[in-house]
Homo-oligomer: A and B are copies of this chain.
Amino acid sequence: MDIKAYVDDVSRKAKAASVLLRSIKANVKNRVLESVAELLKKEKAAITEANRRDYERGKQEGLSSAILDRLLLTDKRIEDMIRSVNEIAALEDPVGEIIGIRRPQGFLLEKVRIPMGVIAVIYESRPNVTIDAASLCLKSGNAVILKGGSDALESNKALTAIMQKALEKNGLPVNSVQLIERREHECVALLVKQSGYIDLVIPRGGEELIKSVVSEARVPVIKHYKGVCHLFVDEDADLKMAVEVVYNAKVQRPATCNALETLLVHQKISKKFLPMVAERLDGVELRGCARTRDILPGIESADEEDYYREYLDLILNVKVVDSLDEAIEHIEKYGTSHTDGILSRSISSIEAFVQRVDSAVVVVNASTRLSDGGVFGLGAEIGISTDKLHARGPMGIRELTSYKWVIRGNGDIRHL
């Protein structure tokens, strides 16, 4: 089939499935998710085998260690997927929830949560997104079209097959979850133009992916842009606390979008703090500004481009700043409005930072790694929105829904 016809076909099928999904009861959706969890356990060998093919090809193609790490499905990560599916099944059904109800003028007015319809999720290497995204979309009553990175195509096919088997077993349309199985990059441009069929596009990934989606899209997009995350250690910070928070933000899982990329240090405490943090960050490659390198001689120099980079690896930029203002300006210039924080005991510095830093998640005296739907209690997350429209920061199932208004009257008319 020609590629445009293929994408049209997938989109049409998704729309048809979404009309049926709109009114599926919560218990049926949950039964599908329980089947998915069972099948993930039962078919672990087949998933691992498919993943090994992707991994070997990636290795031959010279993918970076960070990307290979994202691609890999270990036993532990498959167990995490299973746990995540079970957690999603346990969440309350958002569909049909009465968001608001009142009688503004005699008639009853309800604001009722409904599924969005069809959601396209476009993502890069990490194959667990396939199960997470599909489970979240199903739970919220949406049909989903998945377009994963071609690095992970075999893994994604195996995982999508499991989703579809579970759907079929429980009498739901298999087209509720579809994967774009073609490697052509063109698919993305074609997909994001399906305004008659697709209600929302969620791109997750690097700058190039996001830019190409935004410039091609005729469908609403919620961007999940890279996280160039900052922590600013203020002159009043608790330095011991700051060391541990910085360590956690950078090291605990560097390949995630909420990991730290740039540490900003107030000049007044830089001489004391930088050696402390450098010792704790043993094994992390530091790239410093000139003033940092005066204090920590021998580390690499951070150039202008480094400040824009999402390393996803054990590398950290370190910059000494003169003031809170300079820290905020740096974040405004190089940040991605994802997750940025301050370490301070000064109420006025904290409040100025919270007010002025225009990021989806602003963190005070805590690790950027806490910026997460699971940690926030939203259930598993579809991602972290760096947009301002509809949803900002970690997005759970409620953020995958829309609403309708229902007026229930008894002959009510308008007089003015």
State whether the Cβ of A412 lies closer than 8 Å to any Cβ in chain B.
Answer: yes
A173 to B117, CA, bound (A): 42
A406 shortest CB reach to chain B, Å:
5
Name 13 A/B residue pairs within 8 A (Cβ), A-sorted: A23-B355, A102-B377, A107-B366, A214-B218, A220-B221, A244-B411, A252-B413, A252-B414, A366-B412, A367-B412, A370-B413, A375-B414, A390-B390
Contact B252 A407 (CB under 8 A): no
Q: Is the CB of B413 within 8 A of A369?
A: yes
- Taking each of A116, A403, A413, which has the highest tally of chain B beta carbons within 10 Å of its own beta carbon? A413
Shortest C-beta distance, A231 to chain B (Å), equals: 12
* A413 touches which of B114, B199, B248, B405 (Cβ 8 Å): B248
The listed residue (B199, B387, B393) touching A405 by CB distance below 8 A is B393
Taken together, the copies of this chain in the complex come to 2
> In the complex, A412 Cα to B231 Cα: how many Å?
14
Q: Is the CB of A410 within 8 A of B377?
A: no
Could you say which interface size class chain A belongs to? Answer: 35 or more
Q: Which of B214, B354, B387, B405 contacts A361 (CB 8 A)?
A: B405
What's the Cα separation between A370 and B4 when bound, in Å? 43
Residues of B within 8 Å of A366, CB to CB, are 107, 407-413
Given A370-B107, A388-B116; A364-B220 close (CB under 8 Å)? no
In the bound assembly, the distance between CA atoms of A364 and B170 in angstroms comes to: 34
Q: Quick check: is A215 within 8 A (CB to CB) of the other chain? A: yes
A341–B403 Cα distance when bound, in Å, is 17
Partner of A403, one of B195, B252, B392: B392
The digit string for A378-416, where 1 denotes a CB below 8 A from any CB of B, is 000000000111101110000000111111111111110
- Name the residue in A370, A393, A415 with the highest tally of chain B Cβ atoms < 10 Å from its Cβ: A370
Which 3 pairs show the lowest CB-CB distances between chains A and B? A366-B409, A248-B413, A369-B414
A376–B104 CB distance below 8 A? yes
Q: How far is the CB of A344 from chain B (nearest CB, A)?
A: 12
A410 touches B199 (CB 8 A): no
A404 and B361 form a contact (CB under 8 A): yes
Give A252's nearest chain B residue, CB to CB: B414
Alpha-carbon distance A392/B220, docked complex (angstroms):
14
Known pairs A365-B409, A392-B405. 7 more at Cβ < 8 A? Answer: A109-B376, A220-B221, A361-B407, A363-B409, A365-B412, A366-B410, A367-B413
A215 contacts across to B, CB distance below 8 A = 218
Which of B200, B249, B403, B407 lies in contact with A371, CB distance below 8 A?
A: B407
Chain B nearest CB from A250 CB (Å) reads: 11
**Residues of A180-234 whose CB lies within 8 A of B:** 195, 199-200, 214-215, 218, 220-222
Contact flag A241-B405 (CB < 8 Å), given A218-B214, A218-B215, A389-B220: no
> Can you list, as one digit per residue, whether each of A41-67 has a CB less than 8 Å from chain B (1) or not (0)?
000000000000000000000000000
A360 within 8 A of partner (CB): yes
